[in-house]
Chain A
Amino acid sequence: MGNFNGNDLVHAFSALGAGIAVCSGIGTGIGQGNAAGLGAQAVGRNPGAKGNIMSTMLLGQAVAETTGLYGLVVSLLLMFVKPFDS
């Protein structure tokens, strides 16, 4: 149990950090689901404007997704680019 070197420790904590980084998707999921619900409500109130409402909603959701993606990029960086290896 005592013969592991420092590099193994870095790998282990990188894996842990990669897993924690993707938890930023929680906020994204809640926010985007909320926006989709409001969009569906708007279509229910005004079915004729469905095209406009959908375009606006998709644009807003794609912009809001960015913050969730930052977490994904950090986790992919930790797992595959392994910047902390010695």
Chain B
Amino acid sequence: MISPAVAPTTLREADFYVHEFGSIDFFGSTVHITTTHICTIIVVVVLMALTLFLRHSFFKAERAGKMTTASTLVEMGVDMLTRFVEDSMGKKGAKKYINYIGVLFLYIFFCNTSGILGLRPPTADYGTTLCLALITWVMIMYADIRYNKWNMVKDLFQPFPLFFPMNVISIFSTPLSMSLRLFGNILGGTVLMALYYGMLPWFAKLGVPAALHTYFDIFSGAIQTYVFCMLTVTFVANKRGDAEM
């Protein structure tokens, strides 16, 4: 966190830093309320309102027996999500993970594309992406221990016993690379947009930023969401092996 006082003066207009809005004294240590907290709260509130509205109009259409736009959208969304998870995990395995993957997909997608509405994307803060990647990592280790039990240790020596250090490192590199991939893509987009808005004259900000927002926020955000969810599902399905497919 860098407060405006220590930001370099030439970049004072191009501001992509995380600012602090106050601090709370919490059992002896201070917790700082930052831009990321506020943007996360906004994204979560919007997401909850959207899903409650879609749920209400879906059940209303079900009861009346007709098809409306909202009910069709909900059915299409659930269908695509089911096919996405079942492709890698099989029918039985998909039932356990489909709720979490759906929530993960929506949350990361709305976080990444909130840049188009003027918020600083919460995923442009390493804390958010590290937590998401660590949740995935705990899921992978749990699936590994539960379905492979002692084979997990044997797999560490798998092609040759000399591969042991590399296999250990690759256990730790999974959450690191997943979090850095999402963080780097979204932060790169944020920095570029902030520099564009901060340093160009007023007439360059009139129609052209639409193309930049479309690429950096919507396209790149959607692809990174898809890749994050796809990697989560793929790694967990690998560790599950052929158990109960």
Interface residues of A, Cβ cutoff 8 Å to B = 58-59, 62-63, 65-66, 69-70, 72-73, 76, 80-81
Contact = CB atoms under 8 A, between A and B. Distances in A.
Interface in B218-244: 223-224, 226-227, 230-231
Contact of A59 (B2, B180, B226): B226
Given A69-B180, A69-B184, A70-B180, A62 B224 contact: yes
A69 B191 contact: no
Contacts of B185: 65, 69
A73 B226 contact: no
B222 to A, nearest CB: 10
A66 B176 CA distance: 11
B230 A59 contact: yes
A73 B183 contact: yes
B177 A62 contact: no
B52 to A, nearest CB: 31
Contacts, number: 38
Contacts of A76: 187, 191
A6 B201 CA distance: 37
Contacts of B188: 69, 72
Chain B: interface residue count, which band? 10 to 19
B32 interface: no
A73 B2 contact: no
Contacts of A72: 184, 188
A31 B92 CA distance: 37
Contacts of B223: 58, 62
Contacts of A73: 180, 183-184, 187
A63 B226 CA distance: 11
15 contacts: A58-B223, A58-B227, A59-B226, A63-B181, A65-B185, A66-B177, A66-B181, A69-B180, A69-B181, A69-B184, A69-B185, A73-B180, A76-B191, A80-B2, A80-B17
Contact of A62 (B2, B180, B191, B227): B227
A65 B185 CA distance: 9
Nearest to B224: A62
A66 B187 contact: no
